[in-house]
Structure 1
C-alpha cells in the first residue's frame, strides 16, 4: 500500500497523546502526588497533540467539508467509530484540564479518559485489522501493537516532562514503565514482522485476473499511463529500501530509546529522557510508514507486477 503521510502523522501523534493521557490517568488513580500545574500543562500538551493529529487526518480526505458524514456508519464501520470516539476523547481530556483549574477533580474523569484512550486505540487498529484480504494487517497483533507503541511513546513523553518538571513521584514509576513498555512494544512488533515474513499470499495472478490457465505471464498493466490504482495502492519503493526502513525503525523506535532509558534510570538526568524522546519520534514515524507500506493489496498482482 502507499502510506498516506497524513495518516502516518495522525496515528503516531495521537497514539503518543493517548499514551500520555493514560499515564497521567493511571498516576492520578494510583494517588501519586502530581502538582496541579504539571498535570494541567501535561494535559494541555496531550490536547494540542490530539488536535494536531485530528488536523493531519483531514489531509487524507478528498472532500474535508464532508468529514462529518464519516460518523454515519457507526453500526458497521470501525472508521466511523473512531470518528466518534476521537472528538469525545479530546472533549473529555479538555474537561479534565478545565476541572483541574476549578478545584479537585472527580475520580471518574481520569478513569473515563483511560477507558476512552483504550477504546480509541482499538477502533483505530481495527480499521486495518478487519480487512481480511490484507493479510499483514488481519491479525490479533495489530491492536496489540497500536496500544503498546502508544503506551511506550506516551510513557517516554511523560517521563521527559516529569524529569524537566522535577516530578520525582511520577518519574520513579513512569521511567521504569517506559523501559518495560518500550521493550514489550519492540518484542510484539518483531513478532508481527516474523509472522508477516512467513505469509503465503492467498491471491495469485490467476485469481487476480480471472484467467484460470495453469501458466500465466503478465506482459502489460493494461494501460498506457498511470491511474488511481497504480498510484494509491503501491508505494513504489524497492525491497532493499523496505528492509532498511524496517531495521531502522526497530533500532530507533525501540532499541536506542531503551538504551537511553537505561542510562536515564542509572543517572537521573532530564537530558537522557529528552534524548530518548528525540530518538524515538522518527523511529515511530518510520514504523507507522512501514506498517502501511508492507501491506500487499491483492489488486497489485494485476496492476503492479510486470514481467
Structure 2
C-alpha cells in the first residue's frame, strides 16, 4: 500500500494524545494528587495533538466539504465509527480541561477521567479495526493490528507524560508511571515483532496463477500492465525498493523501541530529566517510520497486476 502522510500524522499524533490522556486519567483515579497547573497543561497538550491529528486527517480527503458524510455508514463502517468517536473524545478532553480550569468539583473529578479513559480505548479500537477488518489484506487482518495500535499509542503517550512530569517536577508521577512506560514500550516491541514475524511467514491466498488463470508452475511478472501511471499504481503501491523497506524496518525498531527502552531504563534508574526528553525526541520519528512501514508492508491483491515496472 502507499502510505499517505496525512494518515501517518493522524494515527501517531492521536495515538500519543490518547496515551497521554490515559496516563493522566489513571493518575487522577488513583488519587496521585497532581498539581492542577501540570494537569491542565498536559491536557492542553493532548488536545493540541488531537486537533493536529484531526486536521491532518482532513488532508487525506478529496472533497473536504463532504467530510460530514463519513458518519452516515456508522452501522457497517469502522471509519464512520471512528469519525464519530474522535470528535466525542476531543470534546471530553476539552470538557475535562474546562472543569479543571473553572474549578469544578465532584463528581467531575472522577467521572470525566473515567469517561476519557473509555473514549481513548474506544478510539484505539475503531482506528485499528479500519485496517484489521480488511480480510483481503492479510498483513492487517489479525488481532495483532489492534494490539499494536493500542500498545504503541500507550507507549508514546506514557513516555510523553513522564517527560512532561519530569520537567514539571512531578516526581511521584514519574516514579509511578516511569516503569509502566518502560513496560508498555517493551510490550509494544514484543507485539510489533510478533506481527513482523507473522507477516513475513504469510503465504498469500492470491497468486499470479490465481489472478491470471495461468496454471504454469513458474510465472514471473514483467510489467505493471499499462504504459503509464494510474490511480492503481499511485495508491496501492509504495514504490520503495526491498532494501529501503529493510532499512525502514530496522530504523523504526531502533527508534521506536530499542533506544527509547534504554533511555527509559536510564530515566527510571537515575531519576534524571534528560533521559525522558531524549526518549520523546528519539521515539517521535520512529513512530512515523513504524506507521509508514505498517502501510507499505501491506500487499493489496491488485498489485499482482500493477506493482512491477518493466
Normalised by the length of structure 1, the TM-score is 0.97
- The alignment status of 1:108 with 2:103, answered yes or no, reads no
Q: Once the 2 structures are TM-superposed, how far is the Cα of residue 213 of structure 1 from its aligned partner?
A: 3.5
Whether the 8 Å CA contact 1:23–1:154 is kept in 2: the answer is: yes
Q: Deviations over 1:273-306 (max 9, x none)?
A: 0001101111111000000000000000011236
Whether the 8 Å CA contact 1:85–1:116 is kept in 2: the answer is: yes
Aligned partner (choices 130, 139, 144) of residue 141 of structure 1: 144
In 2: Cα distance, 1:281 partner to 1:102 partner: 33
Question: Where does residue 263 of structure 2 map in the other structure?
Answer: 260
In 1: Cα distance, 2:281 partner to 2:258 partner: 13
**Partner SS state of residue 289, structure 1:** helix
Whether the 8 Å CA contact 1:33–1:169 is kept in 2: the answer is: no
Q: Deviations over 1:54-106 (max 9, x none)?
A: 00001111111111100110000000000000000000000000001122233
Normalised by the length of structure 2, the TM-score is 0.96
Give the alignment of 1:47-196 within 5 angstroms: 47-103=47-103, 104=105, 105-196=108-199
Aligned partner (choices 232, 238, 241) of residue 238 of structure 1: 241
Of 68-77 and 170-179, the range deviating more from structure 2: 170-179
Question: Where does residue 283 of structure 1 map in the other structure?
Answer: 286
In 1: Cα distance, 2:171 partner to 2:308 partner: 56
Aligned partner (choices 213, 226, 231) of residue 228 of structure 1: 231
- The alignment status of 1:208 with 2:222, answered yes or no, reads no
Question: Where does residue 32 of structure 1 map in the other structure?
Answer: 32
**Partner SS state of residue 107, structure 1:** helix
User: Structure 1 residue runs of 4+, over 6 Å off?
Assistant: none
Q: Deviations over 1:247-280 (max 9, x none)?
A: 1111110010010011111222211100011011
Question: RMSD of aligned C-alpha atoms?
Answer: 1.2
Give the gaps of 5 or more residues in structure 2: none
Q: How many residues matched?
A: 306
**Partner SS state of residue 136, structure 1:** coil
In 2: Cα distance, 1:192 partner to 1:141 partner: 6
Q: Deviations over 1:213-272 (max 9, x none)?
A: 435554443321111001110001011110111011111100100100111112222111
Whether the 8 Å CA contact 1:18–1:46 is kept in 2: the answer is: yes
In 1: Cα distance, 2:64 partner to 2:57 partner: 10
Whether the 8 Å CA contact 1:149–1:185 is kept in 2: the answer is: yes
In 1: Cα distance, 2:225 partner to 2:256 partner: 41
